[in-house]
């Protein structure tokens, strides 16, 4: 069984790329929001005039832990919320990939989605100051950071190359990590 996590800030291209990768590999694709809503791990609320789903991270961690115990399938998790998982849950992934995108392209995508300016700036800030990466470093979790472009085929090939190696790397040492399994 193989477990892959693809994460990054909203708008970076996780969903589109993950769909392609899951088709190529034959992995079951699991989106963070769909998983959370389906398993009733949060609630909807209005923020800046938009309906948002807020997930209880402790419920998410418990649910994912149970899911991992029961699932014997090859899985590809995608979404920005997965980075909030506990160290224990994150260590269960064979490969973790953080996608990053040029700031101008990311900003344009978020504007097309009609994100409020505050939310756009929050996501740009999160990518610029490595929010997700810093979470992984703090949790001592191995990952690979990939700068992607607007070219889906090239992005998929970059990820396939990482997956071919089968390991994530620690950004702090730029060397392969020992996995605790």
What is the average per-residue pLDDT within 24-33?
96
CATH number for the domain running over 3-176: 3.40.50.300
Provide the mean pLDDT of the chain.
90
As a whole number of angstroms, the distance between CA 12 and CA 170 comes to: 21
What is the average per-residue pLDDT within 4-22?
97
The sign of the dihedral angle between the CA atoms of 12, 18, 20, 24 is positive
Taking a C-beta distance cutoff of 8 angstroms, is the pair 134, 145 a contact?
no
Taking a C-beta distance cutoff of 8 angstroms, is the pair 98, 133 a contact?
yes
List the chain domain ranges.
3-176
Q: Give the pLDDT confidence of 83-124 residue by residue, as tens digits.
A: 999 999 999 999 999 999 999 999 999 999 999 999 999 999
User: pLDDT grade, residue 171 (50/70/90)?
Assistant: very low
Identify the CA nearest to 131 among candidates 2, 29, 12, 42: 12
Taking a C-beta distance cutoff of 8 angstroms, is the pair 28, 75 a contact?
yes
What is the average per-residue pLDDT within 140-154?
95
**Of 39-53, 101-115, 140-154, 165-179, the least confident:** 165-179
Predicted model pTM? 0.90
Question: Which residue has better confidence, 172 or 44?
Answer: 44
């Amino acid at each position: 069984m193989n477990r892959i996590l693809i994460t990054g800030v909203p708008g970076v291209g996780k969903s589109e790329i993950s769909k392609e990768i899951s088709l190529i590999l034959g992995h079951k694709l699991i989106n963070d929001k769909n998983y959370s809503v389906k398993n009733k791990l949060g609630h909807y609320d209005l923020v800046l005039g938009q309906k948002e789903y807020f997930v209880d991270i402790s419920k998410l961690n418990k649910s994912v832990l149970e899911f991992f115990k029961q699932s014997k399938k090859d899985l590809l998790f995608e979404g920005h919320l997965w980075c909030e998982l506990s160290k224990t849950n994150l260590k269960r992934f064979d490969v973790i990939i953080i996608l990053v995108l040029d700031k101008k392209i990311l900003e344009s995508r978020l504007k097309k989605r009609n994100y409020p300016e505050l939310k756009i700036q929050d996501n740009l800030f999160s990518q610029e100051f490595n929010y997700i990466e810093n979470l992984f470093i703090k949790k001592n979790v191995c990952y690979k950071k990939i700068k992607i472009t607007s070219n889906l085929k090239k992005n998929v090939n970059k990820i396939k190359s990482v997956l071919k190696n089968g390991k994530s790397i620690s950004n702090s040492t730029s060397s392969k990590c020992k996995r605790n399994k």
